[in-house]
Structure 1
C-alpha cells in the first residue's frame, strides 16, 4: 500500500479550514464581534462616565482575566476526565453572551466589575476545552496553522465589533449605553453555531473503566519549563485598555477610538494565520522570542510617543505581535502534552497566564497613577525583553510526534 507521506507538503499547501476548525472559528468571530462592540468604549466609559480611576480599570480587567484563568484549570481537567469538550464550550459561550450586554445598565465601577467577572466565568468554562478540541481536530503538522486561523477569525470579529460601535455612535447617533445592548445579537448567534455545528471529538484513549482510574500522570517537565517565561512575559503584559487610554492622551478622539481598535484587529487577523503557519516551519520558541522582542519595542514606543499619529502606527505594529505569538503559544502547549492530557494542559496554560494578568494590570495602573504612563510602558518593555531572554535559555525540545486521527 503506498505511503501518504509524499503528499504531505501538497496537502499542507492546499490546507483549508473545515469541520471543527471552521465551526470554532465562526463561533469566535461572532463572540469577539459581540465583545468588541463594548471593549474599546469600556475604559473611556469607566473613567469618563462613571468616574472610575485608571487603577480601577486595571483592577476590573485584571480580576476578570484572573477569574477566567482559575476556571480554565478546572474546566480543562474536567473535560479530560469526562472525555467531552462540547458541553463546556456551549455553556461557556452562553453564559458570557447573556451577561455581557448588561454593562448598558451599570451605574458604578463595581457593577461593571461584577458583569465582567461573570462574562469571564463563561470564558473560563469554555477556553481550555475549546483549545483541546481544536488541537484534536487537525494533524500535528498543521497545528500552528489551525490555531493561527482560529485567532485570525477571532480578530476579524474584533474588527467588525468596533465598526458596528462606530456606526451606532456616528451614524445612528445612539448613546453609548444603547450601543452596549447591540452586543447581544452576535453573542446569541455564536451560541447557536456552537450548539449546532461544533462536533464532539473522542479522545485518543480507551473508554473509562468501571473501576476508579489511577491518578493521571503529571504534565511533562518541558511543558512547565516553557510556561515559566510565558508567565514572566504576562507579568509585563497588562490589559490593552491602557493602550486605548494612552491613545486618548496622545490626541485620538473618543469617536475614533473604535476605528483605532479596528486597525489593531485588522493587523491581528491578517497576521495570525501566516504567523501560526510560520511556527510550523521555523519552530515555536524562535517565533515567540521574536514576537516578545517586537512587543518590547512597541511598548517602548508608547512610552516615548508624543503625537497622535504615533498611536496609530504603534497600534498597527502591535497587531503583528499577536500574529507571531498567540497561535504559536497554543501550538507549543499542544506539542508538549499527550492528547489525553491536553484539556488539563490548556487549563493550566490559560490559568497561570490569566492569574498573572491580575498583578500585571494592577501594577501597571498603579505605576501610571503614581508616576506616569511612560514609566508604566517602559516597565512592560523591560519585562518582555527579560522573558524573551529566558525563553531563549530554555532551548528547543522536539515536539511530541503522535499519530492522531483527524475529525473532518
Structure 2
C-alpha cells in the first residue's frame, strides 16, 4: 500500500513538472522555433517580347541579319519550308497558337516555340541551351520539343512517312533500272541509337554484353535519301534478323494490297520487287546480297555495283544524324514513347527537306528504258492476283527464286557495265 502511494506521488509530480514546462513555453513565445519557410520559386523576367522581336529581325524580316545560307545551316531547312511548318502548327495545334494572359500580355510566339524545338533537334543540346536567345525556360523548351514532334507526326506523317504509291514505285524502278538493278526499290539496314537514361531494370534487354543500351531503327532508303520505311524501338540486343521478324516491312505483300510489279532481268520475267542488303539478311526473293568472295570478272563487277548501290541506306542514316544531332547523341530522355516520337519526327522532317531540295524528281533521262514498242521494261498494276494462288510468305522466302534472280542480275550488270574501260 505504501509503495502504491509512493508511485502515485511521483506520477503527480511528473505531471506538474510537464504542465510547468508547457506554461513556460506558451508564456514565452520566443522559445518556440518558427517553422521553416517554403523556398520561393525563382521567377525570371525573360522579356519574351524582346526575344521574339530579335528572332524576327535576325531571320524573318525583309532585310534579315543572317542570310539564307546561315538560316539553312542553323534550322536545317530552307526558310519557306520552315515557315510552312510554323503556319500549319500555329493554325492546327492549339499549343502553338498565340494567346494573351489576363493582363493582356502576349504569350510566346509560334516562331519562338518552333525555333526552340528545331534547335534542340538540330544541335542535340539540353533544353536550357535556347534560353538566352529564344527567351524561354528549360521546362517550356522541353514542352515545346515534345509538342512539336507530336504535331509534326500528326500533320505530316501520313504524307512523308508513307509506303510507296504506284507513282513512287514507278520512279524507284526507273532509278533501279538505270543503276543496273531492275526491280530494286531501295536498300534496307539497321541503325542503333544509344539510350543514356535507360532504366536500370531494362539495361540487360537493351545492351549487348558490356555495351551501352541502344534502340534500333530499321529503315529502307532510296538513292535520293528518302526513307520509305522506318521501324524503331526494338532493343539493342536484337540483330537485323530478329528485327525483321517483327518488322511490318512486308505487311502489304502478305495482306495482298501491294501493287503488283512485273519486270524483266536477263530476259526472264519477275513480279516481286526486292531490296539490296548486307550479308546478314536471309536469301529470300525480296533480298539481294553481295558476293562475299567473288570469283571471276562477272562476280567481282556485280559485288562492286551491289555494294555501291546498297550504301544508299547508310548515306541516309549519315545525313539524318548530321541534320539532327539529337539522334546521333545519346538520348537523355526516360520516356520511350517520347524518344520514338523524336525519331519519327526527325525522319519526317528529313523527307520534307529531301522533297523541298530536290525539286522535280525527274533528274535523269529515262528514255533508254523504253522498249521498241514504246513500253517500259516493267509494269505496275493496282491489284496483286498472284497472292490469291500462292502463299505470300512462300513467295517472299523463296530461296530458289532468290538465286535465279541473283544470277540474272550478275549477267545484267555485266551486259550493262562490263564494257566500260574501268570495268574491263
TM-score in terms of structure 1 length: 0.23
Structure (1 or 2) with the greater strand fraction:
2
**Larger-Rg structure:** 2
The higher-RCO structure (CA 8 Å, 6+ apart) is: 1
